[in-house]
Amino acid sequence: MVCKRTLMVGEETMDAAELIGYLSPTKPRRLRVIENILIGKRTVSTLYWGMRYHQLAWLGYDKQLTRQTMDGHVERLVHDGLLSVTDTNAVLTKKGAERQQVLRQTRYQPKALPVRLTVDLDTFWQRFLLATQVVSEQSYQTRKYYPLQVAWPVKQMIKKWYQQFYSADLSAEFNAVLTRFLKQLAVREATFFSRLLVGHDRPGETLLQLAQQNGLSSSEAHLMLTDLACQFVHFLRAQSDSSVKALLAGLSRQPISESALNTLNRFQAGQALEEIGHQRRLKVSTVKEHLLEAAIMLPVDQFPYEKLLTPQLQNELSDQFATQNLDDWQFNQLSNTQVAFWQFRLFEILRSKQTDDQQ
Amino acid sequence: MISNDQFYQTLRLRFGFDSFRPGQLEALTSLASGQNTLAVLPTGAGKTLIYELYGAVTHQLVLVVSPLISLMQDQVISLNVRGEKRAAALTSQMSRSEHQWVVNHLKFYRYLFVSPEMLSQPQVLAAVKAVKPGLLVVDEAHCISTWGPDFRPEYLLLGQIRHQLGDPLTLMTTATATNRVKADIKRKMQLSKAAEIIQPVDRPNIFLDVERFEAADDKDARLVELVSELRTPGVIYFSSKKKANEMAELLNAKTSCRVAAYHADLDAETRFKVQQQFMQDQLDVICATSAFGMGIDKNNIRFVIHYHLPGDLESYWQEIGRAGRDGQQSVAILLYLSGDEQLSQFLSDATVPQDDEISYYFKHQPQENSAEKANLIWFYKQHGYREEQIKLAFTKRREQRALALSQLMTYVRIPTCKRAFIQGYFGQPIASKVSQCCVNDSEGLDLQQLGLLVSTPVSSGTQQADWQTIIAQLFNFS
Ligand SMILES: [Zn+2]
């Protein structure tokens, strides 16, 4: 009956300035890839190009995004002479490139966004806000107050958490951990973060209010919130155990889908592709897609490239494309080689990661 | 039978009051004598106290049927905050496991809030029946009548559901009901013999103002002017979320007031923050849709402005009743732009199906993505209604909506006393003359004379505390 959205998922937030950030002045980019990354579609093609565009950290960032909104922004940018579009490939014009440079200086630039893919950020934020309120009210010995409204499992978790840490000096610990975290941020970001918090006599400020105070668009404010939450998770993970860090319990997740992870684990354990397909009742092509997803989403050293691409094959492919830019490689250049398309793609992924690492 | 002494004793122990507000004890006594009771008490008269106290004295489950999830949640929180932990709301927003947990543990609860849709689910109904509720409460009972067959038809089944629960003792509460609505509630609940506890609905400390405009810009400009001049806190009602957002932004920019929008589209965190800021006087004005305020208990609201026409006079009276609960002078202002009634008419036409639509949907089972109306018609068919009956019901409904709108328009246009008109509408005797009555009994709206002119402009914006101060204050290290 009532449509409730949570903070992190949010309503669609994209604005034209955000879109400029996803585009390049030198290489045309596929608008549908950018859109599908934001919506969170995990097809190999989307993920591959998302990787090439350095956009993977945004996977599923704007699940509510509609084609209409996207097209509206594209039209506006084209109209303003910032963007040129052929078919559905878009490249920034000279003026667009200048605007992108300006935006990089003036607009909030995320620092820890890939953390999103490794944690249930939304649940963490709900837990953290409620825990902060509980600890704050406890430090003032308030027994009766209006608690934040959160999802039921979050409420249950915080009850148990409180029972576990009740005797510790929670307010001292929260004070210390938050002070350490906020100290290493820029003043503007630290203030933004602290004003979101809820506690005794502090109802907290809404994202819209903070956006207005800081002269930010709602898209930018949303990004800042998400990134600061990511930075906080990153910070906590590096800290020794504490009541605050315990709020992360059970929220870690893999950047790849569960099904792809299952396939990868079986493959690592020595099962053949056909065997995995048979046991999991999947087509072999699906098994291969799982492996490609894993290769794209995981660091090079966490994926067994050598088991799928022999050194000989790697040498052959390296020779073939020695003088070519990765994005210009064509599979049909390989008519003389015994190589399947998915292996070609896997080699592209490896090469993409190797060259990006050198940068 | 429970004695009045027992009620007084619990009132003192649980609420810390020595006396009841008008109507409360009468309703309790009526229930204690086994009478099903319809209580019409003005907003802010403490209807909640009646069933909360009844549950506390009888130690039986009180089952409250309520129209809005936000309202149910607010009521559960209010009970929790007062120390009553045995309260829960069964809502469609719950996860399956949470829902199941509550259903399996019903006997541990003293207060259970449900929507009629939830209560008509067989599994929920059976579980509730098994714990034998001591009291069934139909909150905002006028919804049974004013919402009619085009909106949430489960409301019409409440009478039937009550039988299925074994005819528990029933309390129906509302702040506003005409004689027709009262009769309609009783008929639909199949409780024609229910006792009536009626208190005057008039709120003499609310001055009634209506202002008419020919151009939208003039209306907006007047709203800005009013918000700049009026003593706060205040609430402005809109019929669209988009407009509420827009005007909140405009008022923030053009006045020194701190303004925020509040409606059902906001996420839970934002709703909480806006609500609590308003309660703690850190916000001056709320731009709301009717989702707001049902459960908000703030007694110093000085003005309620309607930017759009409300659905009917019942809703209007309900909504302006948020003002002046502390008994201090307050004001209700309705801003009417010529043609506003067409928006209401349009909204109403869009929801009530026509004869040809009824015929069509009666023959075609709704699909996953069918129109709301398809589900509505099918609902009636499933519950044994014939096509002709449905057509008749909706024709009557259209007439009723048209009538409600024309009565509202009469209120807008009537050149004589607005208060006298309202009292006539609700079938209540004209009370003694109110000194600050309405726009037609005065020379227009004079804020100075009402004592509602802001003395010093509210401080603009909150002071920017640094993060060190905020953290220290949060954890009591200052
Ligand atoms: Zn009058």
* Token pair in block for residue B371: 């129109």
Beta carbons of B292 and B241 less than 8 angstroms apart: no
Task: Assess A148–B contact: CB distance below 8 Å, yes or no.
Answer: yes
Separation of CA B441 and ligand 1 centre (Å): 5
CB contact under 8 A, B264 and A3: yes
Query: Which residues lie below 8 Å from residue B241, measured CB to CB, with a gap of 6+?
Result: B261, B263, B264, B265, B289
Beta carbons of B74 and B51 less than 8 angstroms apart: no
Beta carbons of A326 and A292 less than 8 angstroms apart: no
Beta carbons of B50 and B122 less than 8 angstroms apart: no
Query: Which residues lie below 8 Å from residue B349, measured CB to CB, with a gap of 6+?
Result: none
Above 50 in pLDDT, residue A5? no
Amino acid B296: pLDDT: 63
Please name the helix (run of DSSP H) or strand (run of DSSP E) that holds residue B7, with its range, or none.
Answer: helix B4-10
Order the strands of the B330-337 sheet from edge to edge.
Answer: B206-213, B330-337, B303-306, B234-237, B285-288, B259-262
Measured in degrees and rounded to the nearest 5, phi and psi for residue A119 equal -150, 150
Measured in degrees and rounded to the nearest 5, phi and psi for residue B458 equal -65, 145
- Write the single-letter amino acid at B139: D
Comparison of pLDDT for A184 and A312, the residue scoring more: A184
Residue A184 with chain B: CB contacts under 8 Å:
none
CA A22, CA A19: separation in Å to the nearest integer? 5
Above 50 in pLDDT, residue A1? no
Beta carbons of B236 and B224 less than 8 angstroms apart: no
Second CATH level (architecture) for the domain A7-107? Orthogonal Bundle (1.10)
Same-fold call for B4-198 versus B206-342+406-463: yes
CA A115, CA A117: separation in Å to the nearest integer? 5
Dihedral sign for Cα atoms in the order A278, A282, A285, A287: negative
Please name the helix (run of DSSP H) or strand (run of DSSP E) that holds residue A86, with its range, or none.
Answer: strand A83-86
- DSSP letter for B21, please: P
Amino acid B59: pLDDT: 93
Residues in chain A, overall count: 359
Give how far the C-alpha of residue B15 lies from the chain's centroid of Cα atoms, to the nearest Å: 23
* Token pair in block for residue A128: 């953290």
Give the confidence band of A10 by pLDDT, cuts at 50, 70, 90. very low
Residue A205 with chain B: CB contacts under 8 Å:
273
Window A:206-245, CB contacts with B under 8 Å: 206-209, 212-213
- Write the single-letter amino acid at B247: M
CA B337, CA B308: separation in Å to the nearest integer? 8
Residue B271 with chain A: CB contacts under 8 Å:
149
Beta carbons of B352 and B394 less than 8 angstroms apart: yes
pTM of the model: 0.85
Task: Assess B294–A contact: CB distance below 8 Å, yes or no.
Answer: no
* Token pair in block for residue B319: 């909504």
Residue located via tokens 């008490």: B41
Question: Which ranges in chain A are annotated with CATH 1.10.10?
Answer: 7-107
Query: Which residues lie below 8 Å from residue A294, measured CB to CB, with a gap of 6+?
Result: A256, A260, A261, A263, A264, A303
Residue A10 with chain B: CB contacts under 8 Å:
267
User: Which of B267, B286, B462, B477 best tests the A interface by mutation, with the highest count of A CBs <10 A?
Assistant: B267
Above 80 in pLDDT, residue A304? yes
Angle at B324 between CA B321 and CA B330, to 5 degrees: 100
- Write the single-letter amino acid at B374: A
Query: What are the helix (H) ranges across A140-272?
Result: 152-165, 170-183, 187-196, 207-214, 218-238, 258-268
pLDDT tens over chain B, length 478 residues? 788 999 999 999 888 889 998 899 999 999 999 999 999 987 766 888 999 999 999 999 999 998 777 778 878 888 887 788 899 999 887 888 889 989 999 999 999 999 888 998 999 999 999 999 999 999 888 888 876 666 677 877 889 999 999 999 999 998 877 888 899 899 989 999 999 999 888 889 999 999 999 999 999 999 999 999 999 999 999 988 899 999 999 999 999 999 999 987 888 899 889 989 999 999 999 999 876 655 567 889 999 999 999 888 988 988 898 899 888 999 999 999 999 888 777 777 777 888 888 888 888 888 877 777 888 888 888 888 888 888 888 888 888 888 889 999 999 999 999 999 998 998 887 767 788 999 998 888 999 999 999 887 555 445 678 999 999 999 999 7
Please name the helix (run of DSSP H) or strand (run of DSSP E) that holds residue B98, with its range, or none.
Answer: helix B96-104
CATH topology of domain B206-342+406-463: Rossmann fold (3.40.50)
Comparison of pLDDT for A11 and B392, the residue scoring more: B392
Above 50 in pLDDT, residue A123? yes
* Token pair in block for residue B144: 């049974």
Please name the helix (run of DSSP H) or strand (run of DSSP E) that holds residue B181, with its range, or none.
Answer: helix B179-188
Give the confidence band of A340 by pLDDT, cuts at 50, 70, 90. confident
Sketch the domain layout of chain B as residue ranges.
4-198, 206-342+406-463, 351-400
Task: Assess B297–A contact: CB distance below 8 Å, yes or no.
Answer: no
- Neighbour count for residue B300 (Cβ, 10 Å): 14
Amino acid B297: pLDDT: 72
CA B263, CA B236: separation in Å to the nearest integer? 12
Q: Does domain B4-198 have CATH number 3.40.50.300?
A: yes
Alpha-carbon distances of A232 from A165, A193, B72, rounded to whole Å: 20, 10, 35
Amino acid A359: pLDDT: 46
CA B45, CA B128: separation in Å to the nearest integer? 29
Nearest in space to A156 (alpha carbons), one of B66, B102, B68, B111 = B102
* Token pair in block for residue A12: 């669609």
CA B347, CA B398: separation in Å to the nearest integer? 12
Distance from CA of A266 to the nearest CA of B (A): 32
Beta carbons of B95 and B122 less than 8 angstroms apart: no
Give the confidence band of A9 by pLDDT, cuts at 50, 70, 90. very low
User: Hey, is A211 helix, strand or coil?
Assistant: helix
User: Which of B118, B155, B263, B470 best tests the A interface by mutation, with the highest count of A CBs <10 A?
Assistant: B470
Q: Which of A80-84, A334-338, B121-125, B128-132 has the lowest mean pLDDT?
A: A334-338
Window A:176-195, CB contacts with B under 8 Å: 178-179, 182, 187, 190-191, 193-195
Average pLDDT over chain A, rounded to an integer: 91
Amino acid B361: pLDDT: 86
Cis geometry, peptide bond prior to residue B233 (ω within 30 degrees of 0):
yes
